[in-house]
Amino acid sequence: MATSDRRRVRATEPPSTRWQFPDDPDALAAAAGDQEVVGIGADLEPGTLLAAYRSGIFPMPVRRGLMAWWSPDPRGVIPLDAGGLRVSRSLRKSCARFEIRVDTAFEEVIDGCGDRKRRGAWIDRDIKAAYSRLHELGWVHSVEAWDASGRLAGGLYGVAIGGFFAGESMFHRQTDASKVALVALVSILQESVGALLDVQWVTPHLQSLGAVEVSRLRYHEMLGAALALPQPVAFGG
């Protein structure tokens, strides 16, 4: 699994948002009640998105034209210690088949993730536009798996703030390509002790790769430590 063509762009802080997000576990619990949604509406401006992620909140539409802001409890994370990510023997073999690149085909990656033919597709034009703006500002990154013929085989994208990475979505066109991109992402984040890889919810697929659930309180402890770290070199740090 070789790496190349990393586009190092130092993140630029956008204008601050006019919206306020609850930013501690108690306030989030009060806002969410026994649900996971802490707010409806607002906007997807860069400053709004960054304020949300720094508060442990992320956006996802509940239906067309209606944006919800989520704070799951428990929260899904992939541990970054030596035994956190489960890499099978077959996946290790797949890693040798692909070249990893960072930020060389972001638009193609988010388009692949947002393919409306995919089951449970939720990435609409507004989401694409918002995260593309954050990508241009240096806060959103793609990790890509390319095959030997120079074709994009799969990848993932997410928000990086300091040592925190919020994985938003992943896709593949060839077997194991998205998993190989995840292996590369974990390697990038392991450069910093205390980094945090947030996967929002633990699905059966992510659980098979080592994702675990943590309480909202524990998540915010981990988030605060990760935000204080420098950004990995691969993402412009």
Give pLDDT tens digits for 101-128: 999 999 999 999 998 777 667 899 999 9
The per-residue pLDDT for 116 is: 75
What would the two tokens of residue 88 be? 């099978």
Please report, for residues 18, 99, 158, 237, the alpha-carbon distance to residue 102 in angstroms, rounded to integers and kept in the order given: 32, 10, 12, 13
168-172: average pLDDT: 96
213-233: average pLDDT: 96
The per-residue pLDDT for 24 is: 87
177-190: average pLDDT: 97
Tell me the three state secondary structure of residue 213: strand
Structural domain of 42: 25-70
Residues 6+ apart with CB under 8 A from 170: 113, 154, 155, 156, 157, 178, 181, 182
User: Which of the listed residues 44, 70, 96 is the one where a domain comes to its end?
Assistant: 70
Tally of domains in the chain: 2
202-226: average pLDDT: 96
For 186, which DSSP code?
H
Question: Are 62 and 178 in the same domain?
Answer: no
**Per-residue pLDDT reduced to its tens digit, 14-55:** 999 999 999 888 888 888 887 899 999 999 999 999 999 999
Question: Are 66 and 80 in the same domain?
Answer: no
Give the CATH number, domain containing residue 133. 3.40.630.70
Question: Does residue 6 sit within a domain?
Answer: no
Question: Are 145 and 208 in the same domain?
Answer: yes
Tell me the C-alpha distance between 84 and 35, whole Å.
28
Question: Does residue 9 sit within a domain?
Answer: no
Question: Are 54 and 107 in the same domain?
Answer: no
The per-residue pLDDT for 65 is: 76
Tell me the C-alpha distance between 223 and 194, whole Å.
9
Tell me the C-alpha distance between 219 and 224, whole Å.
9
Question: Are 37 and 129 in the same domain?
Answer: no
The per-residue pLDDT for 3 is: 57
Question: Are 89 and 166 in the same domain?
Answer: yes
